[in-house]
Structure 1
């Protein structure tokens, strides 16, 4: 079977850490809540919450970190305040979305809540580039479970095996791979993925500028090899 026997049908982006450079902001806001509550920050907590849905990470903050009150509300209020100040964008994000969107249908599978997805895409001027977007609030389980990517592919009307995911984190890579997508990994410098997760990626690149239509198209049929 040749590589062109199963052409790429769609691309599904992650958002935080791929399009927006917000992983550090999530960490700073959550650590800030712990500091406000005079709590130590548990080792591995940052990495553990990457990809979790809002109920999942709120539960983690409450039970594992010990955050008091409504952990979700406190966190999202902090995130919204930071976004109003400045929404940092990953280099080449807008260009990459427009470049790939001119050739393939695009989806988004994000761990952010719906309100932050919509406001982020609007701020980036990319709302009309995505045919579908899925928050892990809207599926049964967050990353590393495959639910978000499976839902995005279902809404796009494509088989997951013919889709490509662009991810940065361990849980994100695991989620997309478990759903059956080919994964292009762009490791986040501040929070690099674990080696076992990175091994699940079809391609590892250094930045979004390297994610060209030729690179994506070259993944066609590779799941069958």
Structure 2
């Protein structure tokens, strides 16, 4: 396979915001007298805004609509991003390095407003040919909708893309879209073993993700699901 584009995830790959999302949503649930369940964080990773807002409104808190949940949580996240935007090691360098060789796309479970805010603050928004929020597709991760939309917007076949992901649902989503996947597992939120097995390569961090590695991954057969 000749690689025609590289697709990035955002949270947990370029910015270390999964802990921020967890802290903010935990705080929101606590402030509204709700309960945080043992599997809540795992369930939330990869959900679209509509999906996680509905989950919080239905299962974790009472007396709020999904729309009210989404508005308040995203507002809290925006204010946190304005204070501090924690980068994953080598994030900006990896984007710039791969942009020299491939068109770039991005598929994120974050809402559009936060995607644009983050990429703008990182100074790399102009390097992406296509960006997709799972708000803009029917189904969030682990379904393939977001990656399929990103490939379509970048005008490349999804089977000729390499995706860079960290989470279980993200790995499953990119694989289901027909892409080869480089896993960069988050140390605090490691993916499940069965999801990690879908990756063609597991990198320690973004510094290991080079154009040569992308070529190597593109030339290798995809792992069996």
Pair in the same fold by TM > 0.5: yes
Question: 2 CA distance for matches of 1:67 and 1:92?
Answer: 41
Secondary structure of the 2:218 match is coil
Question: 2 CA distance for matches of 1:68 and 1:102?
Answer: 50
Count of residue correspondences = 220
Q: Which residue of 2 aligns with 1:36?
A: 31
Within-5 A mapping of 1:103-142? 103-142=101-140
Q: TM-score, normalised by structure 2?
A: 0.95
Equivalent residues of 1:54, 1:112 under 8 A apart: yes
Q: Which residue of 1 aligns with 2:199?
A: 201
Q: Which residue of 1 aligns with 2:83?
A: 85
Q: Which residue of 2 aligns with 1:188?
A: 186
Cα drift, residue 207 of structure 1: 0.2
State the 4+ residue runs in structure 1 displaced beyond 4 angstroms.
Answer: none
- Aligned pair partner of 1:102 in 100, 103, 107: 100
- Aligned pair partner of 2:209 in 208, 211, 216: 211
Runs of 5+ unmatched residues, structure 1? 1-5
Cα distance per residue 1:90-114 (max 9 Å; x no partner): 1100000000000000000000000
Question: 2 CA distance for matches of 1:220 and 1:24?
Answer: 31
Cα drift, residue 219 of structure 1: 1.6
Secondary structure of the 2:182 match is strand
Confirm or deny that 1:220 pairs with 2:215: no
Deviates more, 1:36-45 or 1:124-133: 36-45
Equivalent residues of 2:200, 2:222 under 8 A apart: no
Question: 2 CA distance for matches of 1:214 and 1:68?
Answer: 52
Question: 2 CA distance for matches of 1:204 and 1:220?
Answer: 14
Question: 1 CA distance for matches of 2:217 and 2:51?
Answer: 33
- Indicate how the Cα distance of structure 1 residues 224 and 77 shifts in structure 2: closer, same or farther if over 3 A, else same: closer
Q: Which residue of 2 aligns with 1:170?
A: 168
Confirm or deny that 1:12 pairs with 2:16: no
Question: 1 CA distance for matches of 2:100 and 2:167?
Answer: 26
Question: 2 CA distance for matches of 1:31 and 1:224?
Answer: 37
Q: TM-score, normalised by structure 1?
A: 0.95
Cα drift, residue 172 of structure 1: 0.3
Question: 1 CA distance for matches of 2:219 and 2:42?
Answer: 32
Secondary structure of the 1:131 match is strand
Question: 2 CA distance for matches of 1:35 and 1:53?
Answer: 21
Runs of 5+ unmatched residues, structure 2? none
RMSD: 1.2
Secondary structure of the 2:221 match is helix
